[in-house]
């Protein structure tokens, strides 16, 4: 018996990082994968790195979409990627916003940059935040998981070019880097791992 050792996790923002930023996506037809995004997820899959989407969906709190739509858009995203041979390990979303409508108008522990979604994924999927990567197009993405040892990667898609001018002072100190798109970021993240990818180890259980 052998067990495949998993590589570090990739936590991925959705809008502007994986799919086109359209501003509060509210119809499935608006969902388009960014160029080479599926290829990026596939690269992570092949390297044995779990891929987990963590997405603020405050459109729910703002009354623009409902939780059912968030659920359906997650399934649709999974299908789009699957048809390109790529697979997500999980999707976590936060429907809250303090200025939104009840019952979503709370300061919650999951809205990025708060680490709630990442912490939940780590518990659910037995992942480690330390050494994982968080990839997104906003400053709130690269701030997520601060203090947990997560390496922040900013992509220049979506709002990324603007965010690049507002990066926090400790971004580089935390190992932060900026890439043109998700494929570049994932290629780099995979390249930081031992040559040959995750090792096949004897199963000691």
Q: Which residues bind Mg ion (CB under 5 A)?
A: 13, 15-16, 137, 158
The smaller minimum CB distance to Mg ion, of residues 89 and 137, is found at 137
List the end-to-end C-alpha distance of the chain, in Å, as a whole number. Answer: 10
> Interface with Zn ion includes 96 (CB under 5 A)?
yes
Assess whether 141 carries a catalytic annotation: no
Q: How far is the CB of 129 from Zn ion (least distance, A)?
A: 18
Q: How far is the CB of 178 from Zn ion (least distance, A)?
A: 27
Assess whether 137 carries a catalytic annotation: no
Q: What tokens does 62 get? A: 């703002």
Q: How far is the CB of 171 from Zn ion (least distance, A)?
A: 24
The smaller minimum CB distance to Zn ion, of residues 107 and 169, is found at 107
* Cα 173 to Cα 62, 132, 138, 176, distances in angstroms: 35, 16, 18, 7
Stretch that binds Zn ion, among 29-37, 91-99, 162-170, 184-192 (CB under 5 A): 91-99
CA pair distance 149, 26, nearest whole angstrom: 34
Which partner, Mg ion, Zn ion, none, binds residue 181 by CB below 5 to 8 Å per kind?
none
The smaller minimum CB distance to Mg ion, of residues 152 and 158, is found at 158
CA pair distance 15, 34, nearest whole angstrom: 10
User: Buried b / exposed e across 51-76, counting CB within 10 Å, b at 16+?
Assistant: bbbbbbbbbbbbeebeeebbeebbee
As annotated, the active-site residues are 13, 15
């Amino acid at each position: 018996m052998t067990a495949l050792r998993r590589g570090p996790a990739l936590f991925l923002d959705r809008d502007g990082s994986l799919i086109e930023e359209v501003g509060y996506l509210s119809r499935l037809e608006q969902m388009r994968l960014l160029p080479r995004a599926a290829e990026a997820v596939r690269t992570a899959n092949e390297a044995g790195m779990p891929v987990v989407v963590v997405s603020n969906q405050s459109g729910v709190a703002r009354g623009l979409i409902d939780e059912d739509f968030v659920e359906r858009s997650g399934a649709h995203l999974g299908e789009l990627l699957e048809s390109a041979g790529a697979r997500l390990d999980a999707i976590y979303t936060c429907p809250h916003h303090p200025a939104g409508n009840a019952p979503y108008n709370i300061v919650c522990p999951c809205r990025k940059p708060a680490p709630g979604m990442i912490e939940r994924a780590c518990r659910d999927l037995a992942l480690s935040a330390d050494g994982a990567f968080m990839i997104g197009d906003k400053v709130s993405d690269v701030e997520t998981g601060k203090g947990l040892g997560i390496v922040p990667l900013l992509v220049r898609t979506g709002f990324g070019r603007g965010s690049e001018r507002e990066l926090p002072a400790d971004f580089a100190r935390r190992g932060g880097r900026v890439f043109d798109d998700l494929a570049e970021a994932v290629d780099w993240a995979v390249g930081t791992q031992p040559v040959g990818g995750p090792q096949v180890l004897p199963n000691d259980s």
